[in-house]
Amino acid sequence: MKHASFRAALNTAVSVAVIGALVYALLPNYWVFLITAVFIVGIALQSLGLVAGRTGMISLCQMSFAGVGAWVTGYLNVSGFPGGLPVWIVIGGLAAVPVGIAIGLPALRLRGINLAIVTLGFAAAFDTVLATITFPGQTTFTQVARPMFFESDRGFFIFIVLVYGIIAVGLEFLNRSRLGASWLAVRHSERAAAANGISVPMAKLSAFAISAFIAGISGGLLAGYLGTLVSENFNMMQSLSLFAVATMAGAHFTLGAILGGVLITLFPELLRRLNLPQDVGNVFFALGAVQALSTGETISETWARLGRKLLPGRKASTTATGGALPAAELHPAGTTLEVKGLTVRYGNVVALNDVSLVVPSRTVVGLIGPNGAGKSTMVDAIAGFLPRYSGEVTLNGRSVDALSATRRAQAGIRRTWQTTRIAPELRVGEYVRLAAGNISDGELAAVLDWLECPPPQTLISTVDAGTRRLLDVAGVVAARPPVILLDEPAAGQSYAEALKLGERIAEIPEKFGCAVLLIEHDMDLVRRACSSITVLDFGQVIATGAPQTVLGLPIVQKAYMGIEIEEAAA
C-alpha cells in the first residue's frame, strides 16, 4: 500500500506543479494575481473537505479558523516576529488548532448536525469579536510583509503554489494512512469504527485539529496576499459559501479543491465582466450544493466517473498472492471470554435474563436461538455497545465492564455486524489494514485469499454485500484478537458458500489463535464449525453442550420449530 500513497502523492505534486508553471508562464500579471487567490481558497477548501467530505461533519466556521490564522499572522507581522511569512502562517495555523478542538469537543459523541449548529454559532460569535478587536495593523494600514524572494505578485504566486503543493501532498499521505481510513470509517458508521478499535472522539478531534490548522494557514496566506485585512474577509457568509462550494465541488479531492477555488475566485470576475451583480455567485453555489446533495455526487466525482469512462485505464493489478497467513497469536490458555449473570432490560422488556456463557481459548462456541432470543443484544453487551447491563463480562479473567466499546476492541473483543458497515470509499486492503493494524502485504493477500475475498486494490463500493460480510470476517481474523464475535456471518451467502465459510471458521482458532463466539441460523454451518453450543430463547439459556446433543434436545427443537416433538410425530 505504501507505493500507492507515493504514486498518488507524486501525481498530485506533478499536477500542481504543471498547473502552476502553465499559469506562471502563459498568463499576464493580472490573471496570475487572480489565480493566486484560487490556490489560497483551494487550501481553505481542502481544510473543509477534510472535515465535511471525509469525516462527514458539517463545519460552517471554516473562515473563522482562517481568521484566527490571519489575525495571528498579522500580529506577528506588526510585532516583527523573526522568520517572516512562512513561519507566521505555521504559527497562525497552530493557533487555530486549539480553537478547532474546542469547537469539535461538544460534538464528539453526537452526530453531525450538532456540530453544524456549534460551528455556525462560533462563526457568528467570531464575527462580532473580530469586528471589535480588528486586525493588528488594520488601523495603521501596516502591510503584512511577503517572504523574501517572493515579494512580487508573480513571486508570491510561486510561494502559494508551493504551500498548496506541500499541503496537498501531505493530505494524500494522510488520507491513505490508517488515520485517514478511520475518518471515512467514522463518517460511514461510528459503531463499526469503534468495533475496529478506532477511538471515535480521537478520529473526529484529529480531523478537526488538522482541518483548523490548514484553514489557519490559508488565512495567513490571505494576509500576505492582500496585505491588510478587514473582518469582512472572514465573516459568516464567507464560511457559508465556502461550505456550499465545498459541497458542490467535492473539496476532499485535490481536483475538487482547485475547482472550488476557481468557482469562488473567478466566478465573480466573470459576473463582473458580464455586468451582473457579483453576489449572484452565492445563489449559484447554493443551487449547485443542493443539486450535489440530491444526487449524492460532487462535480469532481462526476468528472472522475466520466474520465474513467473515456479513458479505460489500467486494470487493477492483482498483487502478489500466495504470501503466508500471519502467524497465530499465542493468547493465554484457559477461559478467554466469560459472561456471568448478564441481564439486559429495555424498559419493561427483559432482553437477556441472567445469561452465563464461557468461551474457552482457541475454540468455536455457537450461540443459537430463534429470532428475538437476544443473541445480537448479547453481542452488543459483550462488545460494549449497550449503555447499561447488569452482570459481568471478563476477558482472560479481567473484567471489561468499565471499558468503552473502543477499549474493548483494543483489548481484544472484536465483533462483526449483521449488516455490513464498511465505508464504501475504502479499498479492500485499506479496510483490512484499518481493522487489523500492522500486517504485511503478503499476509494481507493471504488472508484475503483464505476467505476468497477480492484483491486489496478493489474498491469496497464495487463489492457485493455478501462479500463485504466476508471482508468483515477477514478484518477481524487478520487482527488475531483473543476472541471474535461473529454475528451471522453466513447471512446472504449461498448454501455452498456457507458450508465453506463454516470450515474456515472452524479453522480460525488453529490458524489465528483466536476463540470465536459464532451466532448463526444455518445449522449445518454451526455443526461444522462449533465445538459447543449455547441456545438462547426469550433471553434465557435453555441448553448448553456439544452440538449433536444440544441440537437433539426436544426443548431446543421446540424453541426453533415452535412445536413439541410428539406433536410433530403425531
Partner 1 sequence: MNSFFTPAVAGLSAGGAYAILGVCAIFTYRLVAVVNFTGAAIGATGTFVMVALYEHGVPVLPGALAGILAGALTALVIGLVMTTWFAGANASTKAAVTAALLVGIVAVGLRLTGGQHPHAFPDLVPGSAFRLAGVEVTNAAVLTVLLAVVFTILAELFLARTRTGLQLRALSERPMAAELIGIRVRLLALGVWAVMGGVTSFALMIIAPLRSPDFMSLSLLVVPALAAALIGAFKSFRAALLGGLMIGIVEGLVSGLDAFSQYRSTVPFLVILAVLLWSQRGARWDEAR
Q: Residue 85 CB, nearest distance to partner 1 (Å)?
A: 30
Residue 276 interacting with partner 1 (CB under 8 A): no
**Nearer to partner 1 (CB atom), residue 195 or residue 541:** 195
Residue 129 interacting with partner 1 (CB under 8 A): yes
213/98 Cα distance (integer angstroms): 9
Residue 128 interacting with partner 1 (CB under 8 A): yes
Which one of 1, 4, 94, 116 is in contact with partner 1 (CB under 8 A)? 116
487/501 Cα distance (integer angstroms): 13
Q: Give the Cβ contact number of residue 271 at 10 Å.
A: 16
Q: Residue 317 CB, nearest distance to partner 1 (Å)?
A: 36
Residue 139 interacting with partner 1 (CB under 8 A): no
Beta strands 398-399; 532-537: pairing state: unpaired
Which one of 45, 168, 169, 240 is in contact with partner 1 (CB under 8 A)? 240
Query: CB under 8 A: which stretch of 28-36, 122-130, 210-218, 321-329 binds partner 1?
Result: 122-130
**How many residues make contact with partner 1 (CB under 8 A)?**
55
**Nearer to partner 1 (CB atom), residue 22 or residue 290:** 290
Dihedral pair phi/psi, residue 320, rounded to 5°: -50, 115
Question: Could you give the string, one character per residue 406-425, with x where binding to partner 1 holds by CB under 8 A and - elsewhere?
Answer: --------------------
Tell me how far the alpha carbon of residue 476 is from its chain's centroid.
Answer: 18
151/76 Cα distance (integer angstroms): 18
Query: CB under 8 A: which stretch of 155-163, 249-257, 290-298, 522-530 binds partner 1?
Result: 290-298
Query: CB under 8 A: which stretch of 20-28, 77-85, 241-249, 348-356 binds partner 1?
Result: 241-249
Residue 106 interacting with partner 1 (CB under 8 A): yes
Dihedral pair phi/psi, residue 353, rounded to 5°: -125, 105
Query: CB under 8 A: which stretch of 82-90, 125-133, 319-327, 496-504 binds partner 1?
Result: 125-133
**Nearer to partner 1 (CB atom), residue 78 or residue 286:** 286
Which one of 32, 48, 51, 58 is in contact with partner 1 (CB under 8 A)? 58
Q: Which helix or strand (DSSP H or E) is residue 67 part of?
A: helix 62-78
Query: CB under 8 A: which stretch of 175-183, 255-263, 273-281, 338-346 binds partner 1?
Result: 273-281
**DSSP of 450-471:** HTTPPPTTSBGGGS-HHHHHHH
Q: Which residue from 434, 433, 473 is spatially nearest to 452, judged by alpha carbons?
A: 473
Strand partners, 360: 335
181/175 Cα distance (integer angstroms): 7
367/32 Cα distance (integer angstroms): 67
Which one of 17, 22, 29, 111 is in contact with partner 1 (CB under 8 A)? 111
Residue 244 interacting with partner 1 (CB under 8 A): yes
Q: Which residue from 167, 199, 166 is spatially nearest to 182, judged by alpha carbons?
A: 199
Residue 46 interacting with partner 1 (CB under 8 A): no
Q: Residue 161 CB, nearest distance to partner 1 (Å)?
A: 28
Residue 272 interacting with partner 1 (CB under 8 A): no
Q: Residue 415 CB, nearest distance to partner 1 (Å)?
A: 12
Q: Residue 241 CB, nearest distance to partner 1 (Å)?
A: 5
467/420 Cα distance (integer angstroms): 10
Residue 489 interacting with partner 1 (CB under 8 A): no
**Nearer to partner 1 (CB atom), residue 292 or residue 428:** 292
Query: CB under 8 A: which stretch of 116-124, 478-486, 502-510, 526-534 binds partner 1?
Result: 116-124
Tell me how far the alpha carbon of residue 568 is from its chain's centroid.
Answer: 52
Residue 270 interacting with partner 1 (CB under 8 A): no
Which one of 236, 249, 479, 550 is in contact with partner 1 (CB under 8 A)? 236
Cβ partners under 8 Å of residue 136, min gap 6: 71, 74, 75, 77, 78, 79, 142
Cβ partners under 8 Å of residue 256, min gap 6: 45, 49, 53, 246, 249, 250, 298, 299, 300
Q: Are the C-beta atoms of residues 118 and 112 closer than 8 Å to each other?
A: no
Beta strands 413-415; 483-487: pairing state: parallel
208/475 Cα distance (integer angstroms): 27
Dihedral pair phi/psi, residue 13, rounded to 5°: -60, -45
Cβ partners under 8 Å of residue 26, min gap 6: none
**DSSP of 14-28:** HHHHHHHHHHHHHS-
Which one of 191, 500, 521, 527 is in contact with partner 1 (CB under 8 A)? 191
Q: Residue 102 CB, nearest distance to partner 1 (Å)?
A: 8
Question: Could you give the string, one character per residue 423-462, with x where binding to partner 1 holds by CB under 8 A and - elsewhere?
Answer: ----------------------------------------
Q: Are the C-beta atoms of residues 484 and 197 closer than 8 Å to each other?
A: no
Residue 118 interacting with partner 1 (CB under 8 A): yes
Q: Residue 405 CB, nearest distance to partner 1 (Å)?
A: 7
Query: CB under 8 A: which stretch of 288-296, 431-439, 444-452, 464-472 binds partner 1?
Result: 288-296
Q: Which residues bind partner 1 (CB under 8 A)?
A: 56, 58, 60, 105-114, 116-118, 120-122, 124-125, 127-129, 132, 189-191, 194, 236-237, 240-241, 243-244, 247, 277, 279-283, 285-287, 289-290, 293-294, 380, 385-387, 404-405
